[in-house]
Amino acid sequence: MAVRNQLVHRPPHAVWAVLADPTLYGEWVVGPSESTPLDQLWPEVGSRLRYTVRLGPWSTEGVTTVRHREPGRELELEASFQTLGTARIFLQLRPWGEETLVVCDEHPLRGLGGTLHNPAVEALLQLRHRGMLARLARIVERGPAGARHA
């Protein structure tokens, strides 16, 4: 289970505003090159985003579904790729003084991804999370664009 955290120099409501904006998903999540909301209610439970992941000439589409949420505190997602199966991604926002400690916990849930899960895959997930959480922090903390979400 890949667990990583990042201190974001903004309050939890500012982080939540970015998580709740489906147009920003492709900016902070490592992997997707494009994302499109499939439902107008993101991040209500059951709402979905479709995204494309490209690696050179290869590309695939996936869908992420909100499975649980507590506005301003928790967002639990299930990311689904047809060939790889699904993964659970749990983001928790913990107040840390005037800032936010974002905790990300991801692990394979169903399919081939779970079968192939091993220490090497775990290390890759840790690298992915480092990049993803750093991107999230930059978006939340940046000037005017980040401020509009506060």
% the chain with pLDDT above 70? 80
In a domain, 63, yes or no: no
Report residue 134's pLDDT band, with 50, 70 and 90 as the boundaries. Answer: very high
Does the pLDDT value for residue 144 go beyond 60?
no
Does the pLDDT value for residue 132 go beyond 70?
yes
Distance, in Å, from the CA atom of 64 to the CA atom of 62, rounded to the nearest integer, reads: 7
Kindly give the pairing relationship between strand 85-96 and strand 99-110: antiparallel
Residue with more model confidence, 50 or 118 = 50
Residue with token string 């869908």: 63
In a domain, 110, yes or no: yes
In a domain, 60, yes or no: no
Distance, in Å, from the CA atom of 75 to the CA atom of 15, rounded to the nearest integer, reads: 11
In a domain, 45, yes or no: no
Model pTM? 0.83
In a domain, 20, yes or no: yes
The total of structural domains in the chain comes to 1
**Domain CATH number, residue 16:** 3.30.530.20
DSSP character string of 6-24: EEESS-HHHHHHHHT-GGG
* Token pair of 125 as six digits: 């997930």
pLDDT of residue 111: 72
pLDDT of residue 150: 43
In a domain, 41, yes or no: no
pLDDT of residue 125: 66
The domain in which residue 84 lies consists of 2-30+69-147
